[in-house]
Each structure stands twice: as C-alpha cells, then as structure tokens.
Amino acid sequence: VLTNKTSILTVQALDGVPPLHYSMGGGDNRQKPLRIEKLTGRIHPKVVFTYHLQQIYKYSATVSANAREGETLLMVSASDDDSDDTVEYSLMGDDHITQSFRIHPRHGTLSLVKTLNSLVGSSLNLAVRATDQANPPHQANAQVSISVLPDEVTIPKFSSSHYLFLIPEDSAIGTVIGKLQQTEDVSDVRFSLVDAPADLPFSVERATGQLLVSRSLDRETKEVWRFVARADAANSAHSMAMVTVRLSDVNDNAPSFTGAYDRLVISEDAPVGTTVAVFSAIDADRSPGGRISFSLVEKAGSNKAFTVDAESGWLVVAAPLDRELQSVAELVIRATDEGGLFTDHPFKIEITDVNDEAPQFDENFYIVYVDSSILTAGQIVARVVVT
C-alpha cells in the first residue's frame, strides 16, 4: 500500500491470473500506469524510454548557434509493452523554448525550427512526452537538455541520428558490427554508450567508434537491442545517436515436443487408419529452419503397426493389431526441423484385449470307457479342457 508516508507496494502472487496492469494515483488525481511481471513481480511503467539516467529519462546535445533550420539534434525512443501499439511524441515546456524545436511524432527525431544566435551560452531544457494509443492512453516523459555553443566551437556530429545494424545471432565475441561515423573529422572525439544496461552484449571502441559484440547473443532470448551512443569532444561539446541492433535467426534450436504422450492405449480391434494420438512440437527458430516434420525412428525388430504423418504429427494404425502377438509397442517419435536438428521422444502403446478368439477344446474328439455296473449318479466319467 502506498500512502503519503510510505512507498511500499505489496504484490500478492495468484495462480491462474493473467498479466496485471494497474494505475497508481495520488491526491492530485495524477495517475502512473504500471505493469507487474507475472513471474518476478517487478513493476514497470507501461511506456518507457530507451535511455534513462537514475530512473529519470534524460537526453542531451550541444548545438551551434548558427545551426541551420531543420538540422537534427538527436533522436528519442520509447517502447510499449503492446508490440502492435504506436507511440507518438510531442514537446512540452515553456513556449519560448519549445518554439525553437520540432519533434517528429512517430520517429522521435528532434530538429531545429530556427537558429539560436540569441541564446549562445544558454542551456535549454524541454521535455518529450511519449503517448500510446490505449484508451485511456499511457504516457512517459523524458527530459532534453540542449546547450547552445558559439559558432566557432566544433561540435562532433554523428552521420545519422539512428544507426540500424543487422547481425546473425551466432556472431562471435569481438565481431565488428559497424562504425559510428562523424560527419566532420573532429579530433580527440571519444565514443561511449550512455547508461548501457548490464546485460547489453555490445561495446564501443572509444577512439574509433567501432561497435563490437562483447558477449554471446541469442535471438530467442532478445531479438532487438536499442541503446544510446554519445560522442564527446575535448571542448565538452557532444552529441547523441540512437542505435538499434537486430539479431537475425540462425538454426540453433532443436524442436521441442509440447504435451507429448508417454503412454497410450488402443484396442486390438482398432481398424487400420484409426488415429491413436496427435503429436505437436515447436521450434524457437523462424522459418524455414523452424518448420518441423515428424517420423518414427526405426529400430531393429520394430513392427509396422503404426505410422505418423510427417506434417501433422498424427499417429495412426497402419496394420491390423493382435494383442496375443504383442501387448505393448515401444516406439520413438522424432521431430526434425529443416536444418536437420531433431528431438526424439520415446513412448509406449498398450494394446488392450478384445473377445476375438473362439473357444477351443484340447482334443478334437474324446473316447471314454466306463463300467456300467459301478456307475453312480453324479459320478465324473471324463474331463475336457477348453481354452
């Protein structure tokens, strides 16, 4: 419970409850949308910016007083829990500051509307709001600080406000992803990654701007990484750029069965073509490597009483069954992706008995000799055996 004296939120874990979304409000009727992770109980705002510093989303850049109208200063980026939701950006703050800038509502690029000659030496502070399309909408704010420098000061500028790189997920540690380029050759520029998360698998060479793989990658764990790079000159001038690295899929995951059976039962009088079970499997890899086919693993002495459809995973009776010949069939089903990776799953089929055999005497005919002089009522004269 949150009160005006406490800041402790108690979360109770409940079984079978879908992901939870809450809004937290105060006496001034302002609300903060939150998302609570089902497994860990961690709390997140619904819309979050890519870059944050001490929990305050803050971007900064330096700009020349004579920078031309339309020049891009930096790019902000916010993500939404709903992957299909669109985030829109808008400027907030004092009108006499915000009127000098423009932000693209979809791309998040902040650019100049007019020159800043009259503001040399000033530090301009404004805010960017990210809003999704929910009803009611969720929002997050980021602070932006722009320092206006004299025209004679050389400012390092990235060649792009947003760098996009695509690399395979099996790229080795030390692989060069790309290079953060400058539009002008400013000496003594040092590159860095701003407030990079501890698990970020990339690093930048401070002197060259080369981006490197610094730890093992796995697309199935995280496909897209977004972070902020910064270029600092010796004169304290600096600029920022957004970097997005997308991992392309490599067939490195074998299929896994879902809800696989360990034991099945079928009557011995089941006709050919009877469905015994349907097996299913998933593959974390994307198509075509993620397409799966099914087969039964051939074993020495195995019978042909069952077969599986390669595409659907349907296991069916392929030949007449006879419990008297085989009461339990031990089989292995295999799921194979197009890259050749496979997973085997052993299982058993118990064949149940039905009354399909006529009774048989142990002899075709019987001859019994008796002495009629000593026969009494109820006396057993012979015994026959029927199976």
Give the residue ranges of the chain where pLDDT is below 70. Answer: 1-57, 81-85, 287-290, 300-303, 356-357
CA 95 from chain center: how many Å? Answer: 42
Closest residue by Cα to residue 62 from 150, 193, 187, 155: 155
* DSSP annotation of 96: H
Q: Is 42 exposed, middle or buried (0-12, 13-18, 19+ CB in 10 A)?
A: exposed
pTM: 0.63
Position 357, amino acid: E
At residue 280, φ and ψ (nearest 5 deg) are: -135, 150
Domain boundary among 248, 264, 297: 248
Q: Are residues 77 and 167 in the same domain?
A: yes
State the CB neighbour count (10 A cutoff) for residue 132: 21
Q: Could you give the 3-state DSSP secondary structure of residue 237? A: coil
Clarify whether residues 219 and 329 are in a common domain: no
Max CA-CA distance within the chain? 144
pLDDT tens per residue across span 35-81: 444 444 444 455 666 654 433 468 999 999 989 899 999 999 887 76
**How far is CA 365 from each of CA 143, 360, 362, 371, 380, rounded to the nearest angstrom?**
105, 12, 9, 20, 18
Residues 185 and 278 in one domain: no
User: Cβ–Cβ contacts within 10 Å for residue 196, how many?
Assistant: 16
HSE toward the beta carbon, residue 312, CA cutoff 13 A: 9
Supply the CATH number for residue 145's domain.
2.60.40.60
Angle CA(170)–CA(176)–CA(179) in degrees, nearest 5?
A: 135
What domain count does the chain have? Answer: 2
Please answer whether residues 163 and 178 qualify as being in contact, where contact means their C-beta atoms are separated by less than 8 angstroms. Answer: yes
Specify if 369 maps to a domain.
no
Q: Decide if 365 is inside a domain.
A: no
H/E segment holding residue 95: helix 95-98
Residues 145, 236, single domain; the answer is: yes
Q: Are residues 264 and 139 in the same domain?
A: no
Same domain, yes or no, for 242 and 260? no
Position 322 in a domain: yes
Write down the pLDDT at residue 64.
92
Q: Is the dihedral of CA 300, 305, 310, 312 positive or negative?
A: negative
Whether residue 386 lies inside any domain: the answer is: no
Confirm if 149 and 66 have CB atoms less than 8 A apart: no
Q: Are residues 222 and 278 in the same domain?
A: no
Query: Distance between CA atoms of 196 and 230, rounded to whole angstroms?
Result: 11
- Residue 37 has a pLDDT of 46
Q: Is residue 173 packed enough to be buried (19+ CB in 10 Å), middle (13-18) or exposed (0-12)?
A: exposed
Domain ends where: 199, 220, 248? 248
> Same domain for 178 and 272?
no
Q: Which domain holds residue 267?
A: 256-352
**DSSP symbols for 100-135:** TEEE-TTT-EEEESS--GGGTT-EEEEEEEEE-S-S
Tell whether 92 and 227 lie within a shared domain.
yes
What token pair was written down for 254? 């074998």
Query: Which among 67, 257, 249 is positioned nearest to 157, based on CA atoms?
Result: 67
